[in-house]
A and B are shown apart, each in its own frame.
Chain A
Amino acid sequence: GESVGLHLPTLSVQEGDNSIINCAYSNSASDYFIWYKQESGKGPQFIIDIRSNMDKRQGQRVTVLLNKTVKHLSLQIAATQPGDSAVYFCAESIGGATNKLIFGTGTLLAVQP
């Protein structure tokens, strides 16, 4: 069935280092991918998205890479800060009439000062 999963449940990094969070997806029909950040007790917050016709997209301090050949998605955070500590989810969608998101299980990013 459809699924989105993450390789690393917990990632611990030093402040100032770069972070890489990985995600695998299995639905080849998915054409839209999103990374969300969720802090404790809050709802998911949009970080960055990418469509299937792209393989890289950059935002402020974040980059998303998409490898459709191996169905892999990654989020890179440059110069990680303590405020980046949260759970990060990747999500996929096939868009169109059914706009539902399929979420992965999440990776906890812990930034050490």
Chain B
Amino acid sequence: NAGVMQNPRHLVRRRGQEARLRCSPMKGHSHVYWYRQLPEEGLKFMVYLQKENIIDESGMPKERFSAEFPKEGPSILRIQQVVRGDSAAYFCASSPPIRGAQGYNEQFFGPGTRLTVL
């Protein structure tokens, strides 16, 4: 059973270009999470999606950032008009459906995409 897959592993963009990061969850997982990690810092939550729905986007910047998780295919994190401050490692995690109002399921992380903006 393959783990969470992310591609590309490394992405270089010039200021003003668009970055598209892809995440394929583990088999059987319908929940996807995106986190951003700056050097020597912890991961910061960005967005939580289920198939075709955004559940929580409280950590997403209001502009230039968007995420989707279509019925078919991987989840996409899209950053338009990138700036140098967007340089970071972006991690995707997936989990199976959450059981119960107080339930929690372990999130399995992918290897990350390291975005460098020149």
Contacts and interface: CB of A to CB of B under 8 A. Distances in A.
Contacts, number: 77
Nearest to A44: B109
Interface residues of A, number: 28
A103 B56 contact: no
Given A96-B101, A105-B41, A46 B108 contact: yes
B31 A99 contact: yes
Given A31-B102, A32-B104, A46-B106, A98 B55 contact: yes
B55 to A, nearest CB: 7
B33 interface: yes
Nearest to A45: B109
Interface string A2-34: 001000000000000000000000000001101
14 contacts: A4-B42, A32-B104, A42-B111, A42-B112, A43-B109, A43-B111, A43-B112, A46-B108, A51-B104, A89-B42, A91-B43, A95-B98, A99-B56, A100-B58
Given A96-B102, A97-B56, A101-B45, 16 more contacts: A32-B104, A43-B91, A43-B110, A45-B109, A46-B108, A95-B98, A99-B31, A99-B98, A99-B107, A100-B45, A101-B33, A103-B42, A104-B42, A105-B42, A106-B41, A106-B42
